[in-house]
Amino acid sequence: MQIRQCDTPDDVAVAGANFVSARAAEAIADRGQFTMALSGGSTPWIMLAKLAKHELPWGRVKIFQVDERVAADDDEERNLVHIRAEFADRIALPPENLLAMPVVSDDLEQAAERYQKTVTELAGDPPVLDVIHLGLGGDGHTASLVPGDPVLDESERDVAITEIYSGRRRMTLTYSIINRARHILWLVTGDGKADMLSRLIQGDADIPAGRVSQQQATVVADVAALSRHINE
């Protein structure tokens, strides 16, 4: 695991955007396309706004979702709403290159299977994404892999449906596809995440985030989030 310390949340966003842009250029040069999955939370929206200013061949970029709440398309709690507003609508990304999780389906399990098929068609069998961006919850969750949810033990599927968490069921990528990614990018800010970030860096498997592979992981965090790790 590589750790990049930044002074402020804005610096984290800039560093995250630079990281993604560099990996995109490498992937397009090597394989002709760049595949990335995005999580929710406030920090990535800032990072995506910065990334939108980078000059990339957006027609060769495929954007997937790490997770999504089961809610209507225009619900402000949907990650997709913010991905579009802060990023996709600001760049020359072909509409079909933003692969939204189909969470408005009447059959969510079938919808998860369809999304897995879509990822496989675009990123190989089994699918390997170039960058998966992850955030870190105050309870140690990442993606929608939350404490106590049966999806934590899912080993066969790359996309699954969770139980209710904070009032919503979710569709989420599972450990299997996350841990196959070429690069895993953690963006973490604020002293409220200091304890969990320290446990993540230590590889504490008692929290969901601690079960994510560290081999290809990069943590970009501000001083506040890294305070517990720095002082240990």
Question: Minimal CA–CA distance to 183: which of 25, 14, 11, 13?
Answer: 25
C-alpha triplet 154, 160, 164: angle, nearest 5°: 100
**7-50 residue pLDDT tens:** 999 999 999 999 999 999 999 999 999 999 999 877 788 999 99
* Separation between Cα atoms, residue 229 and residue 232, nearest integer Å: 5
State pLDDT tens for residues 41-93: 777 889 999 999 999 999 999 999 999 999 998 899 999 999 999 899 999 99
Give the CATH number of domain 2-211.
3.40.50.1360
Q: Crossing angle, helix 223-231 and helix 194-201, to 10 degrees?
A: 60
* Residue 70 backbone dihedrals phi, psi, to 5 degrees: -80, 100
Question: Which pTM was predicted?
Answer: 0.96
Task: Reply yes or no on whether the pLDDT at 154 is more than 90.
Answer: yes
Strands (E), the chain: 2-6, 34-38, 61-65, 67-69, 98-99, 131-134, 159-161, 170-173, 183-188, 217-222
pLDDT over 70 at 121, yes or no: yes
The pLDDT assigned to 111 comes to: 97
Torsion sign (Cα): 6, 207, 51, 26 = positive
Would the pLDDT of 232 be above 80?
no
Chain segment 191-210, per-residue pLDDT in tens: 999 999 999 999 999 999 99
Domain ranges of the chain: 2-211
How many of the other CB atoms lie within 10 Å of CB of 18? 15
- 12 contacts 43 by C-beta, under 8 angstroms: yes
Q: Which of 26-30, 185-189, 226-230 has the lowest mean pLDDT?
A: 226-230
